[in-house]
């Protein structure tokens, strides 16, 4: 009798080889096509409505992709890619996704033509290294040559594709002032610009041009009680992370009382414990108390009597920034090593003054003249929430770009100039190689042209003609010694011409471009490596039966 070995049934499907590649490329193209039309100074916005009906209107690549619920695993790589770019550089999220998708598409065509993915990958890697080197050595310009205007121009370039493009002069100055006011030097003597210290507050009403920069860190909440003073100076700030409410017994603690009078004593003791805590705070010299949790009315009474400002329900994030700026320690419990409750005056932070001010119809508590790092707040005004949110996103990008420009000190011309120059350079480089990587590098060079192409298509201009002209300029810039200055020629999208973008003030930090190339290549390689996809299907468990 023959025994048939039964393989356990694994429910799922497996695709391999070309099918998977094509599928991955199609998925990535689909993602790129969504953000494609939002690239550049004339890009269009997207309206995203989530499952509970909240509307987001934006053209920030990372935000669009975050809101889309992407199912396909390869397309997810692109979403993560945009987030990475957002974290590392802050801007260029749309470009990085478009370049990655284009690299993939071209690589897929090469694989179809019987070129092994490994050759393509090594070609792409080589092209990426060469491209980054070329940007750093030949195309980038030191900021010192261009002065403060270059920072403003970088901010304007970053905002040009956003909602606030019309007021970009006004906002660029705001952004540059904000970034420069949080300048600090760390222990190693490096100059850093922690833009997290710039708090962005959104207030309804007035027009966008009424936005302004406030000196000091603003908390988006008012004082906890009306009887408190409006202003305390100099301020000693305590940052707490627990409730200042009547102390309750922990859950599961049982107290058996035989005498009802004892019960009253327990209640009294509970009330006194909170009082003692607050007295400890005030004795240490605190006259401003911020807590992330609540403060009940009984506790507020003591603060009012002492003439201190207390603020409850402060966001954790704000609390961290305040603690950092004032040199306070965030205290999450009063217990010390011995189990006694103490509060050291060294935990307090210092500031020149703490005031409550009114912006439109909201009260905000401003912490001014902070001790360690200076903090500023950008107060945005605008007609409605969508507008304010989009302004916030645009300013986040611009702030990041100015920070990067200040820290790296090198900028490149924008408007497709870098991509065109690299494309011409890499194409020439490919012809000098006698190895298999040649074709991959040539395709890499072609892929970079997607940026100027999309820019001109979005501007309703003739992409083919403009890109051809642009390449011609860059070719002569790289081959003729007397035409070196042409290397910063880029697109002028409002006129539909080619112009020198360095002179026109369309500039971006060199780091942003280098990161776009690196991240896009890495993502494309990651997806290109895949040649097998196994999807497991969840098994329906049968109610406890085997």
Q: Are 409 and 152 in contact (CB under 8 A)?
A: no
Question: For position 7, what pLDDT does the model report?
Answer: 53
Which letter does DSSP use for residue 541 in this model? P
- Cα separation of 328 and 22, whole Å? 56
Q: Give the burial class of 391: count Cβ atoms within 10 A of its Cβ; 0-12 exposed, 13-18 middle, 19 or more buried.
A: buried
Q: Is the peptide bond before 139 cis (omega within 30 degrees of 0)?
A: no
β strands within 141-276, DSSP E: 141-142, 184-185, 191-192, 198-204, 212-215, 217-219, 231-232, 235-240
Q: Are 100 and 520 in contact (CB under 8 A)?
A: yes
Angular region, 191: left φ>0, alpha ψ -120 to 50, beta rest: beta
Sequence-distant (≥ 6) Cβ neighbours of residue 22 within 8 angstroms: 108
Backbone angles phi and psi of 508, in degrees to 5: -135, 155
- Cα separation of 130 and 422, whole Å? 9
The model's pTM:
0.81
- Write down the number of H helices and E strands in the chain: 17, 22
Q: Which CATH number fits domain 217-245+275-373: 3.50.7.10, 3.40.190.10, 3.40.228.10, 2.30.30.60?
A: 3.50.7.10
Q: Choose, from 45, 60, 318, 389, the residue flagged as catalytic.
A: 60
Where are the domains positioned within the chain? 217-245+275-373
Question: For position 124, what pLDDT does the model report?
Answer: 92
- Cα separation of 129 and 434, whole Å? 18
Q: Choose, from 94, 221, 291, 370, the residue flagged as catalytic.
A: 94
Q: Are 304 and 227 in contact (CB under 8 A)?
A: yes
Pairing, β 231-232 against β 349-359:
antiparallel
User: Residue 177 is inside which H or E element, if any?
Assistant: helix 168-181
Counting Cα atoms < 13 Å in the Cβ hemisphere of 508 gives: 26
Q: Are 411 and 146 in contact (CB under 8 A)?
A: yes
Q: Is the dihedral of CA 388, 394, 398, 403 positive or negative?
A: positive
Is-catalytic flag, 296?
Answer: no
Which letter does DSSP use for residue 68 in this model? S
Among 279, 331, 344, CA closest to 305? 279
Question: For position 145, what pLDDT does the model report?
Answer: 66
Packed helices 297-306 and 260-283: angle between N→C axes, nearest 10 degrees: 40
Among 296, 310, 291, 162, CA closest to 239? 291
Q: The tokens of 540 are what?
A: 């329906």
Q: Other C-beta atoms within 10 Å of 333: how many?
A: 9
Dmax of the chain from CA atoms?
Answer: 101
Q: The tokens of 498 are what?
A: 């080619």
Q: The tokens of 123 are what?
A: 């070609």
Q: Choose, from 93, 373, 405, 521, the residue flagged as catalytic.
A: 93
Q: The tokens of 61 are what?
A: 């690549």
Angle, vertex CA 144, rays to CA 177 and CA 481, nearest 5: 140
Is-catalytic flag, 405?
Answer: no
Q: The tokens of 291 are what?
A: 């807590």
Among 407, 391, 526, CA closest to 88? 407
What is the full per-residue pLDDT of the chain (546 aa) written as tens digits?
Answer: 555 555 556 677 888 878 888 888 999 999 899 889 888 888 888 898 888 888 888 888 888 888 888 888 888 888 888 888 888 888 888 899 999 999 999 999 999 998 888 999 999 999 999 999 998 888 888 877 666 788 888 888 888 888 777 788 888 888 888 888 887 777 777 778 887 778 888 888 788 888 888 877 888 787 877 878 888 878 888 888 877 777 776 777 777 888 888 888 888 887 787 788 888 888 888 888 888 888 888 778 888 888 888 888 888 888 888 888 788 888 877 777 776 777 777 888 888 888 888 877 778 888 887 776 677 888 888 888 888 888 888 888 888 888 888 888 888 888 888 899 999 999 998 998 888 888 999 999 999 999 999 988 988 888 899 999 989 989 988 888 788 888 888 888 888 888 888 888 888 888 888 999 999 999 999 988 888 888 888 776 656 555
Is-catalytic flag, 397?
Answer: yes
Q: Choose, from 397, 405, 492, 521, the residue flagged as catalytic.
A: 397
**DSSP of 425-439, one letter per residue?**
HHHHHHHH--STHHH
Among 46, 60, 116, 64, CA closest to 89? 60
Q: How many whole angstroms from its chain centre is CA 452?
A: 24
- Cα separation of 377 and 394, whole Å? 16
Is-catalytic flag, 94?
Answer: yes
Q: Are 331 and 238 in contact (CB under 8 A)?
A: yes
SS3 category, 506: coil
């Amino acid at each position: 009798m023959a025994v048939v070995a039964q393989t356990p049934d694994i429910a799922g499907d497996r695709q391999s080889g070309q099918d998977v590649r094509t599928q991955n490329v199609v998925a990535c193209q689909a993602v790129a096509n969504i953000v494609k039309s939002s690239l550049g100074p004339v890009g269009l916005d997207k309206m995203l409505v989530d499952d509970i009906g909240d509307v987001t209107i934006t053209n920030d690549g990372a935000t669009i992709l975050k809101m889309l619920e992407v199912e396909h695993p390869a397309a997810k790589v692109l979403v993560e890619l945009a987030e990475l770019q957002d974290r590392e550089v802050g801007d260029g999220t749309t470009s990085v996704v478009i370049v990655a998708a284009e690299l993939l598409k071209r690589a897929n065509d090469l694989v179809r033509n019987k070129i092994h993915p490994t050759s393509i990958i090594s070609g792409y890697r080589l092209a990426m290294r060469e491209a980054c080197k070329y940007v750093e050595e030949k195309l980038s310009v030191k900021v010192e040559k261009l002065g403060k205007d270059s920072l403003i121009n970088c901010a304007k370039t970053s905002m040009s594709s956003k909602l606030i493009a019309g007021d970009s002069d006004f906002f660029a100055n705001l952004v540059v002032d904000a970034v420069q006011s949080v300048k600090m030097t760390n222990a190693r003597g490096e100059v850093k610009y922690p833009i997290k210290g710039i708090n962005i507050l959104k207030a309804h009403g007035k027009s966008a041009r009424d936005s302004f920069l406030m000196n000091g860190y603003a908390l988006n909440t008012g004082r906890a009680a009306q009887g408190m003073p409006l202003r305390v100076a100099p301020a000693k700030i305590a940052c707490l992370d627990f409730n200042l409410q009547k102390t309750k017994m922990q859950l599961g603690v049982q107290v058996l009382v035989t005498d009802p009078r004892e019960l009253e004593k327990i209640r009294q003791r509970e009330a006194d414990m909170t009082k003692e805590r607050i007295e400890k705070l005030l004795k240490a010299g605190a006259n401003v108390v911020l807590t992330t949790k609540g403060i009940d009315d009984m506790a507020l009474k003591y603060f009012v009597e002492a003439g201190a400002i207390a603020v409850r329900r402060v966001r954790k994030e704000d609390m961290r920034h305040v603690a950092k700026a004032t040199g306070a320690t965030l205290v999450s419990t009063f217990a010390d090593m011995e189990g006694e409750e103490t509060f050291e005056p060294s935990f307090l932070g210092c500031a020149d003054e703490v005031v409550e001010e009114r912006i439109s119809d909201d009260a905000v508590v401003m912490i001014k003249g902070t001790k360690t790092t200076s903090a500023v707040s950008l107060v945005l005004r605008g007609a409605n929430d969508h507008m304010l949110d989009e302004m916030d996103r645009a300013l986040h990008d611009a702030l990041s770009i100015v920070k990067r420009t200040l820290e790296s000190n090198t900028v490149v011309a924008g408007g497709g100039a870098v991509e065109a120059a690299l494309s011409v350079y890499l194409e020439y480089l490919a012809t000098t190689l006698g190895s298999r990587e040649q074709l991959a590098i040539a395709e890499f060079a072609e892929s970079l042209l997607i940026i100027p192409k999309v820019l001109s298509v979005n501007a309703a201009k003739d992409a083919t003609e403009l890109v051809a002209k642009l390449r011609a300029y860059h070719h002569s810039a790289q081959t003729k010694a007397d035409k070196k200055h042409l290397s910063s020629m880029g697109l002028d999208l409002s006129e539909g011409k080619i112009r020198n973008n360095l002179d026109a003030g369309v500039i971006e930090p060199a780091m942003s471009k280098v990161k776009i190339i690196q991240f896009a290549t890495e993502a494309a390689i990651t997806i290109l490596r895949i040649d097998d996809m196994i999807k497991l299907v969840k098994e329906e468990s049968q109610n406890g039966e085997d």
